[in-house]
Amino acid sequence: MVCSPSFAHHGNAAYDEKNPITVKGTVTEFAWENPHVQVYFDAKDEKGNIVHWSVETLSPGKLVRCGWSKDAVKPGDSVAVTLDPAKTGAPVGFLRKFVFANGKELGLKEQ
Amino acid sequence: MNLIVVMAASLALPCLMLAQMPGPESGAAKAKGAAQADSHNLSGMWNFYNNTPGQGIYATPSKDAPPMTDWAKARYAAAKPGYGPKAQAGGNDPILRCYPAGIPRILFFPQPFEIVQTPDRVFMFFEREHEFRQIWTDGRSHPKDVEPTWMGDSIGKWEGDTFVVDTVGLTEKSWLDFYGDPHSDDIHLIERYKRTAPDSLTLQLTVEDPKAYTKTWVGDTKIYKLLAGKKAYMEELPCIFDEENSFTDRIRMPAVTGPDKN
């Protein structure tokens, strides 16, 4: 409950919360900062072109309470990111689930 | 071995002493006294709980504001919030420029605060902005002329098992909530806290601000849950102007302006 991002985020509904998608890619940057931690990662689209994705999540304090740390994610990590995508079609989203290629998940729920 | 036994005994002694402190004579009165003493304990780390529509995080005192005065209507019209009925990207919310959230808005953040009680004050330490407020419980009244500040001048007392906080002297530079609702620096804020269970704290707040609202704004009940064990962790969370701007440039604006067309 404490960590769950089930609340309506940002209020202005920039993200499509009803249609999350999962994107697989490689991390390029992990911004462990306020107001929200961000993960930047590259993924290939159906045509094989590289798309630069950005996903935002909770504040560092909340993530620590979910079991993350500032070193939890590194450039080069292979990840499967489930996110609520921006309604405009921009490669930006709000994080719902974060799983490494080896199956390890970084939780966003109360442990 | 003897040393360890002695040390263990001396550590246990303070606990034994407390248990044997004199109390009311009858068993029932003793139990009632114990219950009352426990219910005057608000200490702990508290995190905003309700995610239900209308009183979720990024909240407002209650879903329906009372009618605004002309003064407040003008302020509200100028506000460009990121939440609520007037939500828009970008905007002019002062917290985007790292202004303090102030009281009561800081109570609506999804970040915890810790309550610490001392003999003459109750302190609330907020993860948000690494801010704190003090509530005087020594029976004093508000000073005669209070210079408005972000956290205000607060006095508190117990009414039964409810801790009632009375605050004045809140600067009108802060928004009342995330929706851009204004308040004047004449606002008189009453907060009623009740520990309804060991891990639950409720808050009901009332806004009296005739300069801004034609009626008293009676808030709905906000619920906070105790953070315990590994979750009893509070971060230092200052607002960093450059990081706010970076987040706006890299996430907020791209999310609403659409994909690059190159």
Note the pLDDT of residue B50.
58
Contact criterion met (CB below 8 Å) for A77 and A98 = no
- Cβ pair B255:A6 closer than 8 A: no
B256, B261, B262: best to mutate for the A interface, most A CBs within 10 A: B256
Note the pLDDT of residue B89.
73
- Cβ pair B110:A62 closer than 8 A: yes
Of residues B165, B204, B176, B163, the one with CA closest to residue B106: B176
Give the highest mean pLDDT range of B16-25, B54-63, B70-79.
B70-79
On whether residue A50 sits in a domain, the answer given is no
Token pair recorded at residue B44:
């702990």
On whether residue A52 sits in a domain, the answer given is no
Into how many domains does chain A fold?
Answer: 1
**Is residue B75 within 8 angstroms of chain A, CB to CB?**
no
- Cβ pair B89:A60 closer than 8 A: no
| A56 burial level (CB within 10 Å; 0-12, 13-18, 19+) | buried
Contact criterion met (CB below 8 Å) for A7 and B56 = yes
Please tell me the distance from the alpha carbon of residue B142 to that of residue B155, in angstroms, as a whole number. 7
On whether residue A103 sits in a domain, the answer given is yes
Q: Residue A85 belongs to a domain with what CATH number?
A: 2.40.50
Tell me what the pLDDT averaged over chain B comes to.
85
**What are B128-151's pLDDT values in tens digits?**
999 999 999 999 999 999 999 999
Higher pLDDT, A27 or B2: A27
CA distances from B58 to A9, A36, B17 (A): 9, 15, 45
ipTM: 0.86
Give A8's contacts (C-beta < 8 A, 6+ positions apart).
Answer: A17, B53, B56, B58
Residues of chain A with Cβ-Cβ distance to B88 below 8 Å are 12
Please tell me the distance from the alpha carbon of residue B215 to that of residue B70, in angstroms, as a whole number. 14
- Cβ pair B83:A110 closer than 8 A: no
* Of the partner residues A7, A34, A90, the one whose CB lies closest to the CB of residue B51: A7
* R_g over Cα of chain A: 13
- Cβ pair B58:A11 closer than 8 A: yes
Quote the domain boundaries for residue A73.
1-8+16-40+61-111
Note the pLDDT of residue B32.
54
Average pLDDT for residues B88-92, to the nearest whole number? 81
On whether residue A86 sits in a domain, the answer given is yes
* Of the partner residues A12, A56, A110, the one whose CB lies closest to the CB of residue B89: A12
Q: Which residues of chain A have pLDDT under 70?
A: 1-13, 110-111
